[in-house]
Structure formats: structure tokens, C-alpha cells
Amino acid sequence: MTDRILVTGGAGFIGSHYVRTVLGPQGPGNVRITVLDSLTYAGNPANLDEVRDHPGFVFVQGDICDAELVGKLMAEHDQVVHFAAESHVDRSIDGGAEFVRTNVVGTHTLIDAAHRAGVRTFVHISTDEVYGSIDEGSWPETDPLAPNSPYSAAKASSDLIALSYHRTHGLDVRVTRCSNNYGHHHFPEKVIPLFITNLLDGRKVPLYGDGGNVRDWLHIDDHVQGIELVRTQGRPGQVYNIGGGTELSNKELTGLLLEACGADWDTSVEYVTDRKGHDRRYSVDCAKIRDELGYEPRKDFAAGLAETVEWYRANRAWWEPLKARAAL
């Protein structure tokens, strides 16, 4: 049986990698994918160039808040993998309205249409940021949600809305919560691509506060592996953390990027005022997805980071126009 999957936000960083992977030579082979993407500043049609001529691929430009369009598409699909979101914390601090509209109202529009259309499975992609900040240890999926930014609060809201449709209507909803992603095709406003592209241009990189904030880093290959395990083998109504197993302070990460780009600390790093409400540390416990679904991160961080730097070095034509347009 061929799975007909609606992928929202499929022209973005993680969504496009999911589409390229699933429709690629290592994919399951029994899927057809429709990407629904509004092509906001972070959505890039070029991210889908390698699958554009695939017979199982369709692209629809549209808004996940458009109930009429979403309802029509839901009737034509069996499954949903929902990536579409406003995701940049700094932008949410400057103005949270668009985050509430897309992440909360958009998710409700999708999940309600999925319920009414009888969609078989709805995979909702979320973030570890919904848990807040943790000084030591790691969050299991059972920890309470305690988001601190407008972005993470909107994502936590969308998690709860999605799961409510499982508990109320019996819809097969599965939620994933990932740690910080890295890899190629990442819009250059986030820390790794911003720092790489600045350093390649001989510019300084802005390091927040004392650089002591800690994040767990997850390569997009491993994230997609985890999502596919959840889509194909996960349990309805369950939440699965997906982590990469490499925790680094921002200062440690900056040092690795300086080394990879041949830059030095004194002339290339500028300490800047810390972000408002900056969560100190994130760390997810991945025992559940490991024990239930056999997930293990496969990408060595050093190798993955080196590959990422080389991709940006070789693909200026991809990222230079994006930085210019966004004035980054």
C-alpha cells in the first residue's frame, strides 16, 4: 500500500530534508508526498530541487491557516507530518503574534481537518524548548511543559492541541520533541549557519552572554531517522524525544566553528548582550524512542559539523542571497 503523506513546511530546513530522504534512494519506496508550504522567508523552493521531478512529489504553495485549502488536501492524504512553524526565538521575542497564528492556529486548522477527513496518522514535530530549562539531568517525555519564550509557548500550545484530538476524538496523533538541529540547507539566522557564513566572509560572530548556554546537537539525518521510526512504528497518543547525544556550551561550539573555518577567537568573536529569558540548558532523555523503536543517533558530531561547514563553503549561491534578503 502506498502512503499518501501531506508534509507541511516541507520547503524549510528539516521538512525539506525529510522529503528528500523519504523520496530518495534510501527511502521506503511506498510513499507519495505533497508539500504544503507558504514560502515565508525561511522556506526555499530550491531546497526541493532534487525531488521536483520525482513522480511521487507534488508541491502546493499555501497557508496552513487556510481551512478550505487544508480541508481539500486532507481528503486526499492518509498521513500528515507537520513541520510548518515559526521557529526563531529571537523573532518571537520581538513579536509573538505570528508565532501564535502559525504554530497554534495553524496546528489547530490542520488537526481539525485531519480528524474530519479521517486521516490515519498525524505526526506533529515539536521541540525540546517546550520543557523550559534544566540545570542537570535530562527531561523524559512525562516532564511538565514550562516554556519560557513566545516561540516555545506557542509550540507547547500546539503540542497540547494536537494531543487533545487523540484523547477527545481518538485520532492517531504522535508528537516528536527534538533537540537543536544542524546540517546543510539551514537558513542562516540560526547559530551554526550564521556563525559559519559570517566566518567564511571574515565577519565576527555574536556570542550571547557568557557563552555558557548548553544545547544538545542533532544532525538532520538522525532527526529524520527518528521521525520515520515514529511515523511507521510509534504508538498513537505518545510523545517521543529525539536527541543527538552531543551537549556543548555555545562557547565550546563557537571554538569548534572557529577551528573549522580557520578563524581565531580574538578577532572573530564579539560578546553581545544575552537574549531575554535565555534558557540555560536543554537536555532530552531519549530512552523511550531507543527502547521502543530502536533509535540511535548515527552521525558523529565532529564529522557532521565538518560536512556542514564544507557544504556552506561550497554553496555560497544558496546562502548569500538569503542573508542579503534578510539583512543578516
- Of 18, 131, 151, 312, which residue is the catalytic one? 151
Q: Check if 18 is active-site.
A: no
Q: Check if 151 is active-site.
A: yes
Q: Rounded to whole angstroms, what are the CA distances from 252 to 81, 116, 131, 152, 280? A: 33, 48, 23, 24, 14
What span, in angstroms and rounded, lies between the C-alpha atoms of 276 and 119?
A: 40
> How far is C-alpha 60 from the chain's CA centre?
20
Vertex 254: Cα angle to 249 and 260 (nearest 5): 130
- Of 3, 37, 78, 128, which residue is the catalytic one? 128
Taking only the tens of pLDDT, the chain with its 328 residues reads 899 999 999 999 999 999 999 999 999 999 999 999 999 988 999 999 999 999 999 999 999 999 999 999 999 999 999 999 998 888 898 888 999 999 999 999 999 999 999 999 999 999 999 999 999 999 999 999 999 999 999 999 999 999 999 999 999 999 999 999 999 999 999 999 999 999 999 999 999 999 999 999 999 999 999 999 999 999 999 999 999 999 999 999 999 999 999 999 999 999 999 999 899 999 999 999 999 999 999 999 999 999 999 999 999 999 999 999 888 7
Q: Check if 129 is active-site.
A: yes
- Of 3, 78, 86, 129, which residue is the catalytic one? 129
Q: Are 73 and 119 in contact (CB under 8 A)?
A: no
What span, in angstroms and rounded, lies between the C-alpha atoms of 309 and 313?
A: 6
Residue 307 backbone phi and psi in degrees, to 5: -60, -40
* CA 88, 64, 155, 288 torsion-angle sign: negative
Q: Report the pLDDT value the prediction gives residue 303, as an integer from 0 to 100.
A: 97
Q: Say whether pTM exceeds 0.85.
A: yes
Q: Which residues share a beta bridge with 188?
A: none
Which residues make Cβ contacts (< 8 Å) with residue 142, sequence separation at least 6? none
Domain ranges within the chain, ordered by starting residue: 3-179+220-242
User: 3-179+220-242 falls under which CATH superfamily?
Assistant: NAD(P)-binding Rossmann-like Domain (3.40.50.720)
